[in-house]
Amino acid sequence: MISDLYHKKQIEVLKFAMENDYFMLINHGAKRTGKTILDNDLFLYELRRVRKIADKLNIKTPQYILAGADLGAVRRNVLNELENKYELEFKFDKHNRFILFGVQVCCFGHSKINDLGRIRGMTSFGAYINEGTMANEYVFNEIKNRCSGEGARILIDTNPDQPEHFLKVNFIDKSDGKIIKAFHYELDDNTFLTERYKKNIKASTPTGMFYDRDIKGLWVSAEGIVYRDFRKDTHYIKSDEFKKVNIVRYFAGVDWGYEHYGSIVVLGEDTDKNLYLVLEIASKYEEIDWWVDKAKDVIKEYGNIPFYCDTARPEHIQRFRREGINGKNANKSVLSGIEQVAKKFKEKKLFILEDKVDLFKQEIFMYAWNSKTGDPIKLWDDVLDSLRYAIYSDMNPGGVSFLT
C-alpha cells in the first residue's frame, strides 16, 4: 500500500503533483521529514513525463537540470539514494551529464556565482533543486529561467533559513497553489520515525533558532545570545572535580589574532564522550613565534595532539607543521559548527574548567546573533571560534571547509 511507502504529508504532496500542472513545487521544513526522499521519486516521475512531451515534439534528447549545493551534494543526496533504492546506474560524460529514461540530466552546483556560467544558454524541460536555501540567488533565478521547455516544472526541497531569505520571500510567500505550491513539514509529520527517536532528537536540539528550524520547520531569525543553553551552575566544573574524570584523549583549536584576541583552547574527551575545555590561551598583539612557543608548551603537557587551526592564515599553519606541531585545517562551517557546540551544551556533554578560562567567561554571555542577517556578530567570538573549530573539525575530520 502507498501508506507503507510514504507518510501522510508525503502522500498529500504526491497527490498534488500527480493531479496538477504546477510550475514550482517547494517542500520545505524540518529535517528528517522525507522531503528529499519524496522529491527524488518525483524527479524520476518528471523525467518520464518529460520524455513523453519530447516524443510529441520530436525532440531526440530533451535536457533536465539537477542541481545541488555542489556536485558532491547531488551525488550524496540524490543519486546515491536512487542507486541504493532502485539499483539505478548513472553513467556520466565529461560535462557531468547522464541519460536516464531518454532524458539528458545536466548536473550543476548552485551555491556559488561561478556556477552561473555553466547553466546559461541551455533550454531545460525542468529542474530539481536540492537544498534550495544553499543556492546563490542569481544561479537559482538562472535555473528557473532556463526551464522554458514545454511543460517544464521545478522541484525544490529545503530546510528553512532566516525569514528574509529570497526563497521564502520571493517564492514560498507567493505560493498561490497553482503556479507555485509550497508544502511545510514538521518533524512530527514523519510518522515513520519512532517516538523514541523524535523524543531524543527534540531533547538534544539546542534551544531557540535551531529548535524552531530543525523541529518545527519554521523560518525564524536568530536572536539573543548564541549559546542559550549554557548554564554556569551546570557547565562550569572545578579542577578538583576534573581529577576524577578518565580522559582518553586531547585535541586543540586555534583562532589566529593580532589586534583582536588570538586563542588556543585544549579539550579533553572522557570515556563517556563528554568534552572538557581544560585550557585557554588568549592574547593580543603576539607574533607567530609566540604562538609556536605556546603550542609547544601544550605539547609538553598533553602530547602532540591535533591543533585544528583557522585557515585564514595558512602560513601560520605551515609554520606550526615545520615546528613539528600537528597543525590541521579547521572546518570553519559557522552554523553547523555552532549547532554542534550548542548541542553539546544542551545535552550536558561539554564542560568548562572554570579556573582555567578567562576570556571564555566574557564571551559566552556576549556572543550574539545578528537578527537581520541570521549570522553571529563578529564580536566576543575569539575563544568561542577556537572552541568551535576544535569540536566541529574533530567531529568532521573529512569535511574541511574554507568558509568563514
The CATH number linked to 35 is 3.40.50.300
Q: Is 39 exposed, middle or buried (0-12, 13-18, 19+ CB in 10 A)?
A: buried
Mean predicted confidence (pLDDT) in 249-253: 98
Alpha-carbon gap, residue 162 to 228, rounded angstroms: 18
pLDDT value at position 26? 98
pLDDT value at position 332? 95
**149 lies in the same domain as 246:** no
Mean predicted confidence (pLDDT) in 311-328: 97
Tell whether 266 is covered by a domain: yes
**73 lies in the same domain as 160:** yes
**146 lies in the same domain as 8:** yes
CATH number for 328: 3.30.420.280
Alpha-carbon gap, residue 145 to 97, rounded angstroms: 20
pLDDT value at position 294? 98
**204 lies in the same domain as 326:** no
Task: Read off the C-alpha cell for 341.
Answer: 557546540
Q: Count up the domains in the chain and report the number.
A: 2
Domain coverage including residue 13:
2-214
Alpha-carbon gap, residue 62 to 60, rounded angstroms: 6
Mean predicted confidence (pLDDT) in 49-58: 98
- Pairing between β-strand 262-270 and β-strand 275-283 as defined by DSSP bridges: antiparallel
- Pairing between β-strand 350-353 and β-strand 236-237 as defined by DSSP bridges: parallel
Residues 308 and 300 sit within 8 Å (Cβ to Cβ): no
Alpha-carbon gap, residue 205 to 214, rounded angstroms: 8
**In the structure, what pLDDT confidence band is assigned to residue 118 with cuts at 50, 70 and 90?**
confident
**137 lies in the same domain as 238:** no
pLDDT in tens, 137-170: 999 999 999 999 999 999 999 999 999 899 999 9
Helices (H) and strands (E) in the chain, counts: 16, 14
Judged against a pLDDT cut of 70, whether residue 189 lies above it is answered with yes
**In the structure, what pLDDT confidence band is assigned to residue 398 with cuts at 50, 70 and 90?**
low
pLDDT value at position 177? 95
Mean predicted confidence (pLDDT) in 12-31: 97
Judged against a pLDDT cut of 70, whether residue 235 lies above it is answered with yes
Residue written as grid cell 509529520? 189
Judged against a pLDDT cut of 70, whether residue 404 lies above it is answered with no
Mean predicted confidence (pLDDT) in 279-284: 98
**198 lies in the same domain as 62:** yes
pTM (predicted TM-score): 0.83
Sign of CA dihedral 60, 66, 71, 75: negative
Tell whether 227 is covered by a domain: no
**136 lies in the same domain as 195:** yes
**80 lies in the same domain as 131:** yes
Q: Which of 214, 249, 277 is the last residue of a domain?
A: 214
Q: Which of 184, 214, 244 is the last residue of a domain?
A: 214
DSSP-based three-state secondary structure for 289: helix
Cα–Cα distances in Å, from 371 out to 135, 202, 225, 239? 21, 24, 11, 37
**243 lies in the same domain as 376:** yes
pLDDT value at position 402? 33
**In the structure, what pLDDT confidence band is assigned to residue 403 with cuts at 50, 70 and 90?**
very low
Tell whether 58 is covered by a domain: yes
pLDDT in tens, 342-387: 999 999 999 999 999 999 999 999 999 998 888 899 999 999 999 9
Residues 20 and 13 sit within 8 Å (Cβ to Cβ): no
**268 lies in the same domain as 342:** yes
pLDDT value at position 399? 46
Tell whether 224 is covered by a domain: no
Mean predicted confidence (pLDDT) in 236-260: 96
Judged against a pLDDT cut of 70, whether residue 400 lies above it is answered with no
Residues in contact with 336: Cβ distance below 8 Å, sequence separation at least 6, in sequence order = 392
What's the mean per-residue pLDDT of the chain?
95
pLDDT value at position 151? 97
